[in-house]
């Protein structure tokens, strides 16, 4: 067993007043600027960017959103449509195909990453997957080492004993991410997500047998009825299962956006201090079991490609969390999807009516977005480096901008010095480095460089 470093040991005892002070509402920085800064965007602007991209030989990442779920987990912050009607789903797919066919590319483009997320993508039938993959392959070709991944709710692939999983593997999917959240039955009851250990363990083992790589499990801390003791049990069992990756999300409580979260009674939620201890306990267990912590909320086995990319400083943070950086341009397909092409963020229509209406007019369903200005690109790079590697190399910054780092961010100097005094960062001549505690509050540190900072966000822990 690997032992913890002094820095990690330090994280375990935290003064509650410290948490109260720093547990601020700040963005999760899956983009910069963040989505509240996006404003309405015309289809022409998006088409222009896609055509600009078409002039390059760069590879692409694709994100495809399948919003349907059969039931709603009360904690869910994703973009979901409750649905049990297969016709509604096939109608959505026909619109998705229209969207793909409208991309103005003069040639078949190379894809290095395809991620299908949701909702619950495995609500699609085998025939629907065949059709979707066939269409994608007519428009794009997969790079030899492409990551073709999909989010899977184990409850949807358990009953058929691996049939759909094998089908996905045969179609070229090589990575899977399973939603687990918590193994504890009481917690599951409180969030209305009933998923037995057998469902989780059996589907995980099947995925291993079938040959998927980079298998990820999603877990959440801060859920109702979670206690330090209950989650220790979950964390230990997950460590024994040994997934390649663990995504350990802080429960993002955003009831002003997701009304169903109001059904979770406040009294059942762990206090900030308990939530934090649940996090540090689980972190310690996984690190002692050999996992490498990645960014603020991921863990991966040292031989996994995410760990390798982390050590080589080749990871990025985007709307799917942390991933290996294989291309700088991402096209989002489907309702609410966000992409970034040629330095421009584009979000698709958020309602089905708007999504369909655009495509019925023969227009791509871009609705909001943001064209990055030069300063945005510089700040985005700084925030990415903090979120991914917890430090900024001031010399590298100078080479890039020809302006000394401290001078460029002179307006933030006071705030930076406050973070230094509070023990969240260390400010050296050539580097700015987050401390062990600062790494857990990295969203707060990143927000110091954020030029916009307006909007209502979930708490930092
Ligand atoms: C689209 S879901 C995963 C696929 C599938 N629907 C499932 O639940 O198994 C993506 C992940 O987002 C995470 N998630 C959803 N809502 C969240 C919230 N409010 N706070 C933190 N994480 C959340 C969950 O861990 C979930 O597994
Ligand atoms: S967590 Fe997954 S299954 Fe549950 S509502 Fe959200 S997207 Fe659907």
Delimit the domains of the chain by residue range.
6-12+29-332, 374-447
Is the CB of residue 80 below 6 angstroms from any atom belonging to ligand 2?
yes
Region of 328 on the Ramachandran plot (φ > 0 left; ψ -120 to 50 alpha; else beta): alpha
Ligand 1 residue neighbourhood (C-beta within 6 Å)? 75-78, 117-120, 151, 153, 179, 181, 218, 220, 249, 251-252
Upstream peptide bond of 207 is cis (omega within 30 degrees of 0): no
State which ligand 2 atom lies nearest to the alpha carbon of 77: 6
Compute and round to an integer the Cα radius of gyration of the chain: 22
pLDDT number for residue 241: 98
Chain-centre distance for alpha carbon 202: 25
Q: What spacing in Å lies between the alpha carbon of 32 and ligand 1's midpoint?
A: 22
Q: Is the dihedral of CA 385, 388, 393, 396 positive or negative?
A: negative
List of the chain residues with pLDDT < 70: 1-14, 16, 454-455
* Nearest ligand by distance to the CA of 319: 1
Topology given in CATH for the domain delimited by 6-12+29-332: Transcription Regulator spoIIAA (3.30.750)
Q: How far apart are CA 381 and CA 392, in angstroms?
A: 10
Say if ligand 2 is within 6 A of residue 154 CB. no
Q: Which ligand is nearest to the CA of 180?
A: 1
Determine whether the shortest distance from the Cβ of 72 to ligand 2 is under 6 A. Answer: yes
Any residues with CB less than 8 A from the CB of 431 and at least 6 apart, and which? 391, 392, 393, 394
Q: Whose CA is nearest to atom 15 of ligand 1?
A: 76
Ligand 2 contacts CB of residue 69 (under 6 A): yes
Ligand 2 within 6 A of CB of 119: yes
| Number of alpha carbons in the 13 Å side-chain half-sphere of residue 78 | 24
In ligand 1, the atom with minimum distance to the C-alpha of 76 is: 16
Residues 6+ apart with CB under 8 A from 44: none
Q: Is 73 in the pocket of ligand 2 (CB under 6 A)?
A: yes
Q: Are 105 and 141 in contact (CB under 8 A)?
A: no
Q: What's the gap in Å between 216 CA and the centre of ligand 2?
A: 16
**pLDDT number for residue 18:** 75
Q: Report the alpha-carbon distance of residue 173 to residue 114 in Å, rounded.
A: 9
Q: Residue whose CA is closest, atom 27 of ligand 1?
A: 179
Say whether domain 374-447 belongs to CATH 1.10.10.920: yes
In this prediction, residue 72 carries a pLDDT of 97
According to the model, what pLDDT value does residue 214 have? Answer: 94
**Which residue's alpha carbon is nearest to atom 26 within ligand 1?**
179
Measure 244 CA to ligand 2 centroid, in angstroms: 22
Whether this prediction's pTM lies above 0.85 is answered by yes
| Contact 118 CB / ligand 2 (< 6 Å) | yes
For the CA of 71, the closest atom of ligand 2 is 5
Ligand nearest to the CA of 83: 2
Ligand closest to Cα of 155 equals 1
Q: Which atom of ligand 1 is nearest to the CA of 181?
A: 25
How confident is the model at residue 4, as a pLDDT?
Answer: 45
Which ligand ends up closest to the CA of 70? 2
């Amino acid at each position: 067993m690997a032992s913890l470093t002094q820095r990690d040991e330090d994280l375990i005892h935290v003064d509650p007043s410290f948490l109260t002070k720093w547990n601020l509402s700040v963005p999760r920085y899956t983009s910069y600027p963040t989505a509240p800064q996006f404003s309405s965007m015309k289809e022409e602007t998006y088409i222009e960017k896609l055509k600009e991209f078409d002039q390059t030989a760069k590879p692409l990442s694709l994100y495809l959103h399948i919003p349907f779920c059969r039931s709603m987990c009360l904690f869910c912050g994703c973009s979901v449509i409750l649905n049990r009607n297969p016709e509604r789903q096939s109608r959505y797919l026909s619109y998705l195909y229209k969207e793909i066919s409208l991309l103005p590319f003069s040639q078949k483009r190379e894809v290095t990453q395809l991620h299908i997320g949701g909702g619950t993508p495995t609500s699609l039938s085998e025939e629907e997957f065949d059709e979707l993959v066939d269409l994608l392959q007519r428009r794009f070709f997969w790079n030899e080492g492409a990551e073709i991944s999909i989010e899977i709710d184990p409850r949807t692939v358990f009953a058929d004993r691996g049939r759909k999983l094998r089908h996905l593997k045969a179609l070229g999917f090589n990575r899977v991410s399973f939603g687990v959240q918590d193994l504890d039955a009481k917690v599951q009851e409180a969030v209305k997500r009933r998923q037995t250990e057998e469902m989780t363990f059996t589907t995980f083992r099947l995925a291993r047998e079938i040959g998927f790589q980079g298998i990820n499990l999603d877990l959440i801390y801060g859920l109702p009825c979670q206690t330090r003791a209950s989650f220790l049990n979950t964390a230990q069992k997950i460590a024994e299962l040994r997934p390649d990756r663990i995504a350990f999300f802080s429960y993002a409580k955003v009831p002003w956006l997701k009304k169903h979260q109001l059904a979770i009674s406040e009294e059942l939620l762990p206090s900030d201090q308990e939530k934090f201890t649940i996090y540090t306990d689980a972190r310690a267990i996984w690190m002692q079991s050999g996992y490498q912590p990645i960014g603020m909320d991921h863990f991966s086995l040292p031989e996994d490609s995410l760990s390798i990319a982390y050590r080589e400083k080749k990871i990025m943070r985007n709307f799917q969390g942390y991933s290996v950086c294989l291309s700088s341009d991402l096209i989002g397909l489907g309702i609410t999807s966000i992409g970034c092409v040629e330095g421009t963020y584009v979000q698709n229509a958020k309602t089905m009516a708007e999504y369909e209406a655009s495509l019925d007019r023969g227009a791509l369903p871009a609705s909001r977005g943001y064209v990055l200005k030069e300063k945005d690109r510089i700040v985005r790079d700084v925030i990415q480096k903090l979120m991914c590697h917890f430090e900024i190399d001031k010399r590298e910054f100078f080479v890039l901008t020809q302006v000394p780092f401290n001078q460029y961010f002179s307006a933030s100097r006071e705030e930076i010095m406050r973070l230094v005094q509070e023990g969240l960062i260390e400010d050296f001549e050539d580097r700015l480095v987050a401390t062990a505690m600062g790494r857990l509050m990295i969203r707060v540190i990143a927000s110091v460089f954020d030029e916009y900072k307006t909007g209502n966000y979930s708490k930092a822990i």
